[in-house]
Amino acid sequence: MWGFAANGDPGRAKEMFDWMPQRNLVSWNSILSAFAQQGEFEHATLLFDEMPLRDALTWTAMIAAHAQHGHLGQAKAFFSKMPLHHALSLKSMCQAYASAGETGNAKRMFDSIPERDAFVWNTMIGAFAWCGERLAEARSAFELMPCRNIVSWNTIVRSYATSGAALDQTKLLFDWMPERDEISWAILLGAYSDHACLAQAKSLFDAMPKSDVVPWNIIITAYSHSRQ
């Protein structure tokens, strides 16, 4: 059952689940999550209602799945009915509000999380950045983050690259990165392309690793827009 659930086949997982002579909370949560993550909320809700016992993972599975599918109202409804709010559910609601552009509510959830990991910090930085007018708050959250990873750096560099900030500020953040991946290089290359800085774009393109077609597409677009 767990194999089918993990591979995104809730129908087959449910067949195995129905054959189980005894079902514990782990098996209930697994089949519920399988349906919810695939967006099959009618089946997921029926299972949720049938469950003899629920824990924080049960509630969070429904909240997170609704949030991932853009159903903020349903995520809020499950969150409000939780007997006790745990860190996992708070993180899921922070992500749900951030994805919906409700930065104030995302920050409220963020502030209520007792121990914040890199995921929730990155969520909050992204929420400020996506807002478009809160770049300073995105930078402040980034500076306050106790342990940054590649996602954190890419998020803040992208926020500068897409916000209309001076290009040299984007480049400075890129230069400060302790490590870079293909996304990091593509962000800066895209920024040069958007600003029609062809010389810098070509120089960066020549220096960067090119493991896929993304950098090629960016540089071709840059040259086609300049008609060179």
Those residues whose C-beta lies under 8 Å from the C-beta of residue 101, and which sit 6 or more positions away, are 127, 130, 131
Say if residue 216's pLDDT is above 80: yes
Contacts for 194 with CB less than 8 Å, ≥ 6 apart: 161
Higher pLDDT, 46 or 4: 46
Q: What is the pLDDT of residue 38?
A: 86
> Torsion angle of alpha carbons 18, 19, 24, 25, nearest 10°?
-30
Tokens 């991932």 -> residue: 68
**pTM: predicted TM-score of the whole model, two decimal places:** 0.78
The predicted-structure confidence for 53-81, as pLDDT tens digits, reads as follows 999 999 999 999 998 888 999 999 999 99
From the list 73, 19, 52, 82, the residue with the least C-alpha distance to 61 is 82
In the prediction, which pLDDT does 42 show?
87
DSSP codes, 116-138? --HHHHHHHHHHHHHHSS-HHHH
* Tens digits of residue pLDDT in 114-129: 899 999 999 999 999 8
Give CA 30 to chain center in angstroms: 22
The chain-wide mean pLDDT, for the chain, equals: 87
